[in-house]
Structure 1
Amino acid sequence: MTAIELGRPVSGDVVELILDDHRRFESLLRDLRDASSDRDAVRRAFSALHVAHALAEEEHVYPQLRRRDAVGEHEAEHGEEEHAEGNQALLAVLELAGTDTQAFDDAVEELARVVNHHLTEEELTILNPAREEIGDRVRAELGATFATARNAHLDDDCGALTQVRALVAQARREGVLDDGDDG
């Protein structure tokens, strides 16, 4: 199994830490498209990072930004919906047995479409206001909290297939995802 470095930050400006992960997502998506890469290792790494990152944002970053009026309820809820859509697209990639099929390539492209849309929107509607409305000290405190939560989720094997299935099922139960919407 190929070890893929996901970074283990312990501190920093929360906006910069999130952007660092966004660049990692883009790199991992390129590797998922590359037939010469260890696509199975890459999809496991992507899954771990995606789930850990999203959970840490939803648990700590979005609520703090809402409390400080840096973002509205709509932006935070929309970010959570897009995380759920990302998990759903990720599940389709994880559930495929082979990584050298057209079905895998198609699932990766859908994952890339969903994730890239979210990265762009989050950078514009959540991270830009956070930069403008939240002071350096609070961004640093929130960065440490985000990093700690993200790393703890990584340690808990949060990206395992069973975990992603459970997250998608929970999002469906909560009405965040439509029951019949499988991508």
Structure 2
Amino acid sequence: MSTPIDLGRPVSGDVIDLILEDHRRFEGLLRDLRDSTSDRDAVRRALAALHVAHAEAEEKHVYPQLRRKDAISEHEAEHGEEEHAEGHEAMLAVLELKGTDTQAFDDAVEELAKVLNHHLTEEELTILNPAREEVREKVRADLGEAFATERNAQLDADCGNIDNVRRIVEAAEREGLLDDEGEDSEG
């Protein structure tokens, strides 16, 4: 049995700082997932849990509040949700592979890294920067507590298990969040 990976258990803080801490965790987990000497199975399970918990907390609390505060547009929030769905889909591909020492695994990890790194960069530029500039510290602190509470509840509920990730991807497909058509034609 592998050693559990610490994903942090924040309970409060500025929501921007909490999100950025998770972004750095994503980058570290992706590095470990690429490392053939690491416990890749444990890493992919930890990464799946963090990805789902983080995305659910953002979509339930952060994006709606930032829209209400006019810090981000409806389009930016929807685009963030689409990118979460793409990340879940890429994560599912990694989870579904039997072994972690195959070319198929390496290819799936490469695709996951591409999707996640794109989202982290875009979110930091188009969502977190406006939140820093447009949203008062008190609101960001309240939002941080809501984000952390939801994130931790998701982790406690084993949100990253393959069946849940599969359910999330299927729901995203039904909702049209994973529509590949016109992806590059967005303005």
Q: TM-score range by the shorter chain?
A: over 0.9
Corresponding residue of 2:98: 97
Segments of 5+ residues of structure 2 without an aligned counterpart are: 182-187
Is the 1:172–1:179 Cα contact (8 Å) retained in structure 2?
A: no
Aligned residues with identical type, % of pairs: 76
Q: How does 1:164-175 map to 2 (within 5 A)?
A: 164-175=165-176
- Which is further off, 106-115 or 169-178? 169-178
Is the 1:66–1:76 Cα contact (8 Å) retained in structure 2?
A: yes
1:81 and 1:98 map into 2 onto residues whose CA distance is 28
1:178 Cα deviation from its structure 2 partner? 2.7
Q: How does 1:30-69 map to 2 (within 5 A)?
A: 30-69=31-70
Is the 1:43–1:94 Cα contact (8 Å) retained in structure 2?
A: yes
Q: What amino acid sits opposite 1:43 in the alignment?
A: R
Structure 1 counterpart SS, 2:63: helix
Structure 2 counterpart SS, 1:2: coil
Is the 1:9–1:147 Cα contact (8 Å) retained in structure 2?
A: yes
Structure 2 counterpart SS, 1:41: helix
Q: How does 1:145-164 map to 2 (within 5 A)?
A: 145-164=146-165
2:173 and 2:164 map into 1 onto residues whose CA distance is 14
What do you get for the CA RMSD once the two structures are aligned? 1.0
Deviations 1:14-55 (A, max 9, x none): 000000000000000000000000000000000000000000
1:60 Cα deviation from its structure 2 partner? 0.3
Structure 1 counterpart SS, 2:125: helix
2:24 and 2:177 map into 1 onto residues whose CA distance is 26
Structure 2 counterpart SS, 1:8: coil
1:131 Cα deviation from its structure 2 partner? 0.3
**1:113 corresponds to 2:114:** yes
Corresponding residue of 2:132: 131
Deviations 1:149-171 (A, max 9, x none): 00000000000000000000000
Corresponding residue of 2:12: 11
2:44 and 2:167 map into 1 onto residues whose CA distance is 18
1:129 Cα deviation from its structure 2 partner? 0.2
1:179 Cα deviation from its structure 2 partner? 7.9
1:59 and 1:73 map into 2 onto residues whose CA distance is 14
Segments of 5+ residues of structure 1 without an aligned counterpart are: none
> When the two structures are aligned, how many residues end up with a matched partner?
180
Deviations 1:125-162 (A, max 9, x none): 00000000001100000000000000000000000000
1:7 and 1:27 map into 2 onto residues whose CA distance is 13
Structure 2 counterpart SS, 1:58: helix
Is the 1:84–1:176 Cα contact (8 Å) retained in structure 2?
A: yes
1:105 and 1:25 map into 2 onto residues whose CA distance is 17
Corresponding residue of 1:75: 76
Corresponding residue of 2:26: 25
